[in-house]
Chain A
């Protein structure tokens, strides 16, 4: 029987489920002219959830429901940033949705349900819980991608996403079943203890490989990256923003739970595999991004390369590496919200601002948005003193500490290649002449302008003052 204590541990999640149901009902009974309030209600709901997460933060790791659910510092940090990113998505999405008559309640409730999935996933203490959290996140995401019903591109990408996603979930589940067969437990902590004594080490490694496929798919790491470009391009930009930010935090959380909490003793097996996946992702992501003309597609390939860097941190297989990877996930989430946020800000009715050419001469028409985008691009490229540089620096350090100098060198080489396409965007905005029909100063929404500016300036501020965030990340993994 669940005790009151169990419920208290899960309070933010329970609250969010209840709130999401209330929002769904409210949406159903609301008059159309009152529907605008849904937007602010959702934001308040998420902020409240963030408050509950922070206020109820336990000093020590606590578990609930028979170790199904773990509430520790790592999950708390990931949850706070996941909620923050979803709030950002809501704020950036509103003008876009209103312009396109897509402002519907489902968007908000589905996003909140997906965020609940993220929260469960990063707190999972059991393979079943991981699967449940993951499915809640991905099923909501499929629906979100398909939300723009009238667009064939959207539907196509939703189907692609669904088919490939189902396949990878199957892989993950298959791997989990093998691990269960080899150890006889689904509980991550018990799994960790059972791995060294397992009578079937080969089966374990087989299971591990299938699970890695699932993880790589969720991260969007090569060679399981095929869905990323299509979904990023096909989904409406707010949904892409969500997939590129909140979802990535979840993917990191899942990878860490499975690989360290569960299968930490198999690290000598998964380290080289992840290293190969990391190099492949950096290579494919950075090389293919160069030839893209569609901004969203380019950012999709850039995501693939960034996931390669994130994996570089995981390859370290120690607390230093995990904290570096978590720092990377957070920094990537904040950078991608800026990049997609600027796209959303510049989009207007009948104009998606999806092509890189649409940004031509942006510095003449809207110097402020051009500056924000330039900040995001330099940060994504990893140029100091911006946030993204420190994330890259930490994962490179993690690779060197793991005695994988070759991996760090590969990361360095691909960072140079990646630099080109980020600079290309800056070049288009600053050095090219503006053309008719390109992006101009839209985004009449004041809250969006302010939040987006703060979001982008945070990249600069965190570039100078990144110590506290790194301190939290390290502390959550037991480092000083």
Chain B
């Protein structure tokens, strides 16, 4: 089993989608329990990654490689390093919570919803394991189909617009990545990522490929100015869709940067670092201000996601600056580590925030901030969780949000105090929009009579929010295991940064 652990992880949920689908519309409960069963099984299998993966050694482990298309030398190649393991665990945990979260909420075509979630889960795990660029691309693109369906069927009133925009926008970015990959294949004769990393490329080639990759991943992350699909998709998506989108799918973008831009086009990456750093700072500061004025809660959290993902891209590319220009590998490592921790942390925090909004939406069927107010009077337990996640969202020490952002700011200070200054703005702006949101939703008098009738969270909702809360706190108080898990992989990535390919 351990030889095919990664394949098992990918295919278990995808195959599990078949019986869930067969349960049919008439037996939603069977579909729910089956979906939960497969999600839990996948999670249990993913736990085996921890003992199987040797974190002290680093590098790609649990390698699976079969010839997929012999005549083209395309491999079904899977392997994981510490970063992948962390992201896979994030995916499997979020998968369970999403199924529990949708338990009573999704009444219409439950079986299709659950099946789409399972397929999506398998494909996301596939993205985090693939070591063959074509295989990566297949998983990367295939993810769009279940998400397209999820938003389109179970979404809000403008779901069709949002889901088409989401699909076409993402497809737009990735097809140029495909052209870049085909060009690399034309040169190297293989899609194996390690061979591509060793492929010498001129600067012009690297620059074009860099921008093709950047477009694909920047749309996925999303970075300013190609972030506009995200607020629409988030607002219209069902709660579960929003959670998966924010918690895992956005990470696929930054993960792709680590796997493609860093090793394959390091010189172009170093040369154009300022582009990404600038865009990240714009995301952190400007999008923070945009979030401040939102009237729709989901939109606010969506924009805050863009701002927080700005820290991930900043951390990754500040490492370029540090390792290449200043030769400061240790600080580069710190920045990269911060980015990784931020990725995982944002997964939990944003997932939790969207779950909270879902809880409120299920009761009042509105996402507008002005319709709420004084919620703490009727939903004290919900208020407790909501405040906790809000604190994590603005990066309070003791929560997971603090660790990553702090590390990135610290590292960027070494690169340039100005970058650190702008990045640190988030502490003010983030606190601004999050606390103001809390103030308007939770505190104050109840002015909407419907709010007075709202019931506090049920046992099922407590379970989901409690799990998120435990993870957020655990990461905030004791991030050491996570950092240790990814440490050697991060070190290797940073070492790769320093290699010149020209």
A residues in contact with B112, CB < 8 Å: 367
Number of interface residues of B (CB under 8 A): 34
B171: CB under 8 A from chain A? yes
Interface 1/0 per residue, B143-183 and A, CB below 8 Å: 01100110011000001100110011001100110110011
Whether a CB of chain B sits under 8 angstroms from the CB of A98 is no
With an 8 Å Cβ cutoff, the count of chain A residues facing the other chain is: 33
Q: Is the CB of A383 within 8 A of B144?
A: yes
Establish whether residues A401 and B186, one from each chain, have CB atoms under 8 Å apart when the complex forms.
Answer: yes
Given A383-B141, A431-B152, A474-B71, A393 and B175 contact (CB-CB distance below 8 Å): no
From 282 to 305 in chain A, residues with beta carbon under 8 angstroms from any chain B beta carbon are none
Q: Which of A383, A397, A401, A479 has a CB less than 8 Å from the CB of B142?
A: A383
B182 adjacent to A384 (CB under 8 Å): no
Q: Other than A405-B179, A467-B68, give 11 A-B pairs with Cβ distance below 8 A.
A: A384-B138, A397-B182, A400-B183, A405-B183, A412-B176, A415-B171, A415-B175, A430-B153, A471-B71, A479-B71, A480-B71
- Min CB distance, B162 to chain A, in Å? 11
| Complex alpha-carbon distance, A84 and B164, angstroms | 35
Q: How far, in whole Å, are A408 and B168 apart by their CA atoms in the complex?
A: 19
A65 beta carbon closer than 8 Å to chain B: no
Given contacts A419-B168, A430-B149, contact A400 B69 (CB under 8 A): no
Q: In whole angstroms, how far apart are the Cα atoms of A420 and B148 in the complex?
A: 13
Q: Does A318 interact with chain B (Cβ within 8 Å)?
A: no
Q: Which of B69, B159, B168, B178 contacts A423 (CB 8 A)?
A: B168
- B72 interface residue per 8 A CB criterion: yes
Whether B160 contacts A408 by the Cβ 8 Å rule is no
Across-interface contacts of A400 in B (CB, < 8 A)? 179, 182-183, 186
Tell me the bound Cα distance from A474 to B168 in angstroms: 32
- CB < 8 Å neighbour of A383 from B134, B145, B163, B186: B145
Q: Residues of B with Cβ closer than 8 Å to A?
A: 68-72, 109, 112, 134, 137-138, 141-142, 144-145, 148-149, 152-153, 159-160, 163-164, 167-168, 171-172, 175-176, 178-179, 182-183, 185-186
CA distance A471 to B69 in the complex (A): 8
A367: B residues at CB distance < 8 A: 112
**Choice from B109, B167, B178, B186 contacting A412 with Cβ under 8 Å:** B178
A389, B141: Cβ atoms under 8 Å? yes
Residues of B close to A363: CB separation below 8 A: 109, 153
* Complex alpha-carbon distance, A383 and B72, angstroms: 20
Q: Does A385 contact B (CB under 8 A)?
A: yes
Could you tell me if A470 and B71 are in contact, using CB atoms closer than 8 angstroms? yes
Minimal Cβ-Cβ distance residue in B for A401 = B186
- A466 to B71: give the CA distance in the assembly, Å: 11
By Cβ-Cβ distance, the 10 closest A-B pairs, closest first, are: A384-B138, A467-B69, A412-B175, A431-B152, A384-B141, A385-B142, A397-B182, A400-B182, A474-B71, A416-B172
A-B CB contact pairs (8 Å), 5 listed: A383-B145, A397-B186, A415-B175, A467-B71, A474-B71
Q: Which residues of chain B have C-beta atoms less than 8 A from A393's C-beta? A: 134, 178, 182
Across the interface, do B171 and A419 meet the contact criterion of CB distance under 8 Å? yes
- Please determine whether B179 and A466 come into contact, CB atoms closer than 8 angstroms: no
Bitwise, A2-27 to B at CB < 8 A (1) or not (0) is 00000000000000000000000000
Q: How far is the CA of A420 from the CA of B160 in the complex (A)?
A: 12
User: Which B residues lie within 8 Å of A424 (CB)?
Assistant: 164
Query: Which residues does chain B contribute within 8 Å of A401, judged by CB atoms?
Result: 186
CB distance from B139 to the nearest CB of A (A): 8
CA distance A209 to B164 in the complex (A): 42
Check A142 for interface membership: any CB of B closer than 8 A: no
Q: Nearest Cβ in chain B — how far from A361, in angstroms?
A: 11
For the complex, give the distance between the alpha carbons of A415 and B112 in Å: 28
- Bound-state Cα–Cα, A367 to B116, Å: 14
A442-480 near B? 1/0 per residue, CB < 8 Å: 000000000000000000000000110011001000011
Instruction: Tell me which residues across on chain A come within 8 A of B68, comparing CB atoms.
Output: 467
Q: A416-B171, A471-B71 are in contact. Are A396 and B153 (CB under 8 A)?
A: no
**What mask results when residues 337 to 371 of chain A are scored 1 for a CB within 8 Å of chain B, else 0?**
00000000000000000000000000100010000
Give CA–CA (A431, B171) in the complex, Å. Answer: 20
- Contact between chains at A470 and B72 (CB < 8 Å): yes
Given contacts A378-B145, A419-B171, A467-B69, contact A384 B179 (CB under 8 A): no
- Report how far A138 CA is from B144 CA in the complex, Å: 41
Within 8 A of B (CB), among A390-414: 393, 396-397, 400-401, 405, 408-409, 412
B186 (CB) vs chain A CBs: closest residue: A400
Q: Which residue of B lies closest to A471 (CB)?
A: B71
In the bound complex, what is the Cα–Cα distance between A480 and B69 (angstroms)? 11
* Other-chain contact of A431, B142, B145, B153 (Cβ < 8 Å): B153
Give B71 Cβ to nearest chain A Cβ, in Å.
5
Assess the B182–A431 pair: CB atoms within 8 A: no
Q: Cα distance A302–B59 when bound, in Å? A: 46
- B164:A420 contact, CB within 8 angstroms: yes
Give Cα A193–Cα B291 distance, bound, in whole angstroms.
71
Determine if B69 and A470 form an interchain contact, defined as CB atoms under 8 angstroms apart: yes
Assembled-state Cα–Cα distance A471/B74 (Å): 12
Say if the beta carbon of A427 comes within 8 Å of chain B.
yes
Which residues of the partner chain B approach A471 to less than 8 Å between Cβ atoms?
70-71
Q: Considering only CB atoms, which chain A residue lies closest to B155 in the complex? A: A431
CA A384 to CA B141, docked complex, whole Å: 6
**Also in contact, A396 and B178, with CB within 8 A (given A416-B168, A431-B152):** yes
Say how far B333's CB is from chain A's closest CB, in angstroms. 35
Docked Cα-Cα span, A396 to B153, in Å, equals: 33
Given A383-B144, A408-B182: A416 in contact with B69 (beta carbons within 8 A): no
Query: Which residue on A lies nearest to B134, using beta carbons?
Result: A393
In the complex the two chains form, what is the Cα distance from A408 to B183 in whole Å?
A: 10
Give chain B residues whose Cβ lies under 8 Å from the Cβ of A431: 152-153, 159-160, 163
Enumerate chain A residues within 8 angstroms of B137, measured Cβ to Cβ: 384
- A383, A396, A415, A467: which contacts B182 (Cβ < 8 A)? A396
Which B residues lie within 8 Å of A409 (CB)?
176, 179
Q: Which residues of A contact B148 (CB under 8 A)?
A: 423, 426
- Cα-based distance from A467 to B167 in the complex (angstroms): 28
Min CB distance B233 to A, Å, is: 14
Residue in A385, A415, A467 whose CB lies within 8 Å of B70: A467
Q: Which residue of A lies closest to B108 (CB)?
A: A364
CB distance from A230 to the nearest CB of B (A): 29
> How near does chain A come to B314, taking the closest CB pair, in angstroms?
29
Chain B contacts for A389, CB-based, 8 A? 138, 141
Q: Which residues of B contact A397 (CB under 8 A)?
A: 182, 185-186
B159: chain A residues at CB < 8 Å are 431
Once the chains are docked, how many angstroms separate the CA of A423 from the CA of B144? 12
Q: How far is the CB of A16 from chain B (nearest CB, A)?
A: 32
